[in-house]
Homo-oligomer: A and B are copies of this chain.
């Protein structure tokens, strides 16, 4: 099995190194042969080649069995809305070129971190959500531009029946293996893309009679996530709504530093933390590497079918937390200094 490591920018580099070291240990322990290659993407790729997703990287991605990914981005571009070349273009191009239409984001709460969240423990306890965010359509990929002498900007959101159906099926199937409840989130009272979305999900429902389907408007879903997170089991939603809701839902898990995601579709899969490049903490050694470690676990489970190996990683994270070890983002005043980890020692 051939694993491509793409650390990207900022803390992406720090945490992915830890994620990779866990894959190396698992291979040793369970007697697997994984081979590793590495490639550039994002700001570091722009600096080196002028291109946020160089052809060489894309080629290596296509030839990989799975990709462990870090993060891309740089404040330089955020502060310059007129920049023509941007790290995120590489990310979006990768998703489109590799056909990664389904982004899975499990929001799993480690018991030890119940109190790390800003939400009350009694509201959180027992929450376990799996998001399916559509990843290759919507307003991310439609035509966009300027008109009227650069004075008007536009972005086109678009969905086809086929695109909604394939992510819808993945979500229904996952719901079957879990709590058998699916929430589809849209804004069908305003958007035509959402009305198509709702039509398609409604049409699929009879094929999955064992799954209870609920439709929520995105504004209401954003509110319910905080008010009553246990109401959620599997959630399926469009690209933009998924972007917003999954970041919001990260607060259920106490920190973004704990959350992994899998992007899958037609061929290889990409596994990455949901956090970004976080240049404000880069180089300080305080980034929480557990999202990358849990991304490695997702990789083994979903792309390689190695459930036992994946569970071993999750159990190790659980033990680490039970033993009281914390990175800064999940620690508090009561954490003793000798249990406060830096990025490397956590690995």
Most buried by B among A82, A118, A190, A194: A190
Q: Any chain B CB within 8 A of the CB of A279?
A: no
- Copy number in the complex reads 2
The residues of B that contact A78 with a CB separation of less than 8 Å are 188-189, 215
For the complex, give the distance between the alpha carbons of A162 and B152 in Å.
Answer: 9
Q: Any chain B CB within 8 A of the CB of A226?
A: yes
Report A240 CB to chain B, min CB distance, Å.
8
Provide the main secondary structure of the chain A interface. Answer: helix
Q: Any chain B CB within 8 A of the CB of A178?
A: no
The residues of B that contact A188 with a CB separation of less than 8 Å are 78, 81
Report A271 CB to chain B, min CB distance, Å.
19
Report A33 CB to chain B, min CB distance, Å.
38
The residues of B that contact A190 with a CB separation of less than 8 Å are 88, 92, 139-140
For the complex, give the distance between the alpha carbons of A244 and B238 in Å.
Answer: 14
Binds B, one of A142-150, A287-295, A313-321, A333-341: A142-150
A residues 132-178 in Cβ contact with B at 8 Å? 139-140, 142, 144-146, 148, 151-162
The residues of B that contact A222 with a CB separation of less than 8 Å are 222, 244-245, 247-248
**Do A154 and B142 form a contact, CB below 8 Å, given A120-B119, A256-B223?**
yes
Interface residues of A (CB under 8 A from B): 73, 77-79, 81-82, 86, 88, 92, 118-120, 123, 139-140, 142, 144-146, 148, 151-162, 187-199, 202, 215, 218-220, 222-223, 225-228, 240-241, 243-248, 250-251, 256
